[in-house]
Amino acid sequence: MCGITGYLCASTPSLACERVLAPMMQAILHRGPDSSGHWCDPEVGLALGHLRLAIVDLSPAGAQPMVSASGRWVLCFNGEFYNHRQLRAEIEATGRAPAWRGTSDTETFLAGIDVWGLRETLDKTIGMFAISLWDRENRVLYLVRDRMGEKPLYYGWQGKGEQRTLLFGSELKALRAHPVFEGDIARSSLVEVLRHGNVGENRSVYEGIGKVRPGEIVMIEAQSSKVKKDFYWNGAEIAAAPKPPCRDDAKVVDELETLLLDAVGQQMMSDVPLGAFLSGGIDSSAIVGLMQHLSDRPIHTFSIGFHEARYNEAEFARAVANHLGTHHTDLYVTDQELRDVVPMLPMMYDEPFADSSQIPTFLVSKLAREHVTVSLSGDGGDELFCGYGRYAHASKLRAKLAAMPAPLRSLGAGAIRAIPAGALTTALAPIIPTPQGKEPIGQRLHRLANYARQPDLESLHRTMVSVWRFPEAAVPGAHHPPSMLSDHLPPRGDLTDIERMMQLDMLTYMVDDILAKVDRATMAVALESRAPLLDHRVVEFALSLPEDQKLRGNVTKWALRQVLYRHVPKELIERPKMGFEVPIGLWLRGSLKDWAAALLDPARLRREGNFDADLINRLWQQHLSERFNWGAQLWNVLMVQAWLDTLDV
């Protein structure tokens, strides 16, 4: 696991390459503290920088940037090619293998390109990666991202005239360190952060800077500056493709276990200590169970525990660890220790990011890094095997609403919305009290009324995953950017309602929230995280299954559970899904009140001009009154405000 960065600018003198590149590399040193390297092509003004976290082939023979044996290609990448040993065997079978200099996956990938070309090599590769590849012969720069979007890669043009430069890197910090970086904030991205808590899809918080999409190849011609894009793997189309004939339950479970054993086995490839995150839930327990099945010694597992019983899964994780015989470490943290992470978040996440579970994710990553350099996780299970409760909830709600005449449905929803939420809460509080830290009943009823008014499934899903219903109202003059959730919906094919929501989450929420959260948290402590459930073969298999083999009655993740139960007793797993919900609403009225008040100060908001100061202040005062809980909405604003403070650092 590493960090990459670089630039392409014909007017940059060759002698300035190292001087310009050095601060870009220094900005992401945390991603690769073991060693660094750079490579320049002075004729075209190309520079590649690499920060190495050595995982496979720790010798200098694995160092990057690396030039292919043919001399044509220069590779600088972040990630791992898990099946590189098999690829080596295939290359050797062609009779065109180079004289191998080492055992790294970097060298294998370059040799594959020499033999098969980039596209075919990518098709053969199993892994997670963000690639910068320079074709010295045709003077073309390729930027490539793995199929599921596990590894980030930002890029874009900055500067004008002769100074116009293509910048790229694993994190925005690296791009910001280049002298031509402009840093104009895309106000539409602030609307997106309020709605979803992140900047999604192919965008960033900065004008002119975007992200390579999962499964995408971006080609930049050095001479003409032309940019071409193509997908070598398209998850949207694969999810919408017709499904194969239904398979017998037992066969499906056998095939899934075989696939997962191979994926987990490949991802256990490491020349450094390796372990796994273990929450005691279905996904992480399945991965740990398979890891321990494949290992001849106890694997290391890690959990974060909480003293509040309603949040704490550590005891369940330890029970699973004890059954499997892992070497388990858990750390119980206090509210204060959680809150101490908050000031670190804006720099860690590089652009506004407001999923509060980023806090425990960082803490468990920090714990794991004290013992190992690589940690496997169960990320992807909810989106691929139907784990989120909102899927069944939305499907049932749609069925109930469909039974009601549309005018009656609209009238009922409108009547609820016509009564102020605060008045509803006052009237109903004696009957339906609000649990500590939760939404008052008035807000909940307004939210349900909003759901009832949605004309189709896609609108309902978008409403359910939105923190702010109308975020444009809080960002004067800005509009939500075109989105896969509204403006350019992916193909649906014959997907059921539940399958459609899973498809949309896989393409948006999983990539831009879950995987971004894990990447930044783990890389902040130089820990490599791997997700076997996101092996593209597992993904394609999961997408081929009918809904009934994912959600059966009220049982979520049915097929994955059956694999898990072959390794962990059912009684250790069967319990309501907990997840982790940071009590942001309570904190903002308590220990974080002064911090939040300074960031939400109306005078500051008016001076900066990013948000409607009166609207934000009204929500803040309502929240402090305890008659409303706007904790989630305010947290998204606060993460923008705290991030803005880092721009002056």
pLDDT-derived band at 509 (thresholds 50, 70, 90) equals: very high
pLDDT-derived band at 472 (thresholds 50, 70, 90) equals: very high
Average pLDDT on 566-579 reads 83
* Secondary structure (DSSP) of 157-198: EES-GGG-EEEEESSHHHHHTSTT----B-HHHHHHHHHHSS
Q: Which one of the listed residues 2, 9, 40, 76 is annotated catalytic?
A: 2
Per residue in 252-297, pLDDT (tens digit) is 999 999 999 999 999 998 878 899 999 999 999 999 999 999 999 9
Average pLDDT on 319-332 reads 96
How far is it between the farthest Cα atoms of the chain?
A: 80
The residue type found at 281 is G
Q: Looking at the DSSP assignment, which residues form a beta bridge with residue 331?
A: 304
Instruction: Please determine, for residue 649, whether its predicted confidence score (pLDDT) is greater than 60.
Output: no
Res 369: pLDDT: 96
- Rounded Cα gap, residues 587 and 584, in angstroms: 5
- Cβ burial of 226 (10 Å; 0-12, 13-18, 19+) is exposed
Cis peptide before 430 (omega within 30 of 0): no
Res 439: pLDDT: 83
Res 264: pLDDT: 98
Angle at 394 between CA 360 and CA 313, to 5 degrees: 25
Q: For the chain, how many helices (H) and strands (E)?
A: 29, 17
**Is 40 a residue of the active site?**
no
Average pLDDT, the chain: 92
**Residue of higher predicted confidence among 587 and 203:** 203
Res 1: pLDDT: 57
Per residue in 626-644, pLDDT (tens digit) is 889 999 999 999 999 999 9
pLDDT-derived band at 437 (thresholds 50, 70, 90) equals: low
Residues 79, 128 contacting (CB under 8 angstroms): yes
The residue type found at 202 is N
Res 476: pLDDT: 94
Instruction: State both tokens at 474.
Output: 């809080």
Res 14: pLDDT: 62
Q: Quote the DSSP letter at residue 571.
A: G
pLDDT-derived band at 132 (thresholds 50, 70, 90) equals: very high
625 C-beta neighbours (distance < 10 Å), count: 10
Binding residues for ATP: 304, 377-378
Instruction: Please determine, for residue 480, whether its predicted confidence score (pLDDT) is greater than 70.
Output: yes
Residues 195, 472 contacting (CB under 8 angstroms): no
Handedness of CA 360, 361, 365, 366 (dihedral sign): negative
Binding residues for L-glutamine: 105
Prediction pTM value: 0.94
> Could you give the percent of the chain with pLDDT greater than 90?
77
Res 575: pLDDT: 74
Domains along the chain?
2-233 (3.60.20.10), 237-386+503-572 (3.40.50.620), 389-496 (no CATH), 584-646 (no CATH)
Instruction: Please determine, for residue 52, whether its predicted confidence score (pLDDT) is greater than 90.
Output: no
Instruction: Please determine, for residue 151, whether its predicted confidence score (pLDDT) is greater than 70.
Output: yes
Residues 201, 483 contacting (CB under 8 angstroms): yes
Angle at 170 between CA 525 and CA 195, to 5 degrees: 90
Res 566: pLDDT: 97
Binding residues: 105, 304, 377-378
Name the nearest CA neighbour of 382 among 510, 571, 280: 510
Res 15: pLDDT: 62
Per residue in 201-212, pLDDT (tens digit) is 999 999 999 999
243 C-beta neighbours (distance < 10 Å), count: 14
Average pLDDT on 92-114 reads 96
Instruction: Please determine, for residue 435, whether its predicted confidence score (pLDDT) is greater than 90.
Output: no
pLDDT-derived band at 13 (thresholds 50, 70, 90) equals: low
Average pLDDT on 503-521 reads 97
Name the nearest CA neighbour of 378 among 216, 195, 577: 577
Residues 601, 567 contacting (CB under 8 angstroms): no
Res 311: pLDDT: 65
Could you give phi then psi for residue 453, rounded to 5 degrees? -85, -5
Residues 201, 509 contacting (CB under 8 angstroms): no
Instruction: Please determine, for residue 589, whether its predicted confidence score (pLDDT) is greater than 60.
Output: yes
- Rounded Cα gap, residues 448 and 439, in angstroms: 12
pLDDT-derived band at 416 (thresholds 50, 70, 90) equals: confident
Asked which of 113-122, 190-199, 419-428 is least confident by mean pLDDT, the reply is 419-428
- Rounded Cα gap, residues 449 and 420, in angstroms: 12
Cite the beta strand spans of 1-45 per DSSP E: 2-8, 35-41
Residues across the chain: 649
- Rounded Cα gap, residues 14 and 503, in angstroms: 46
237 C-beta neighbours (distance < 10 Å), count: 12
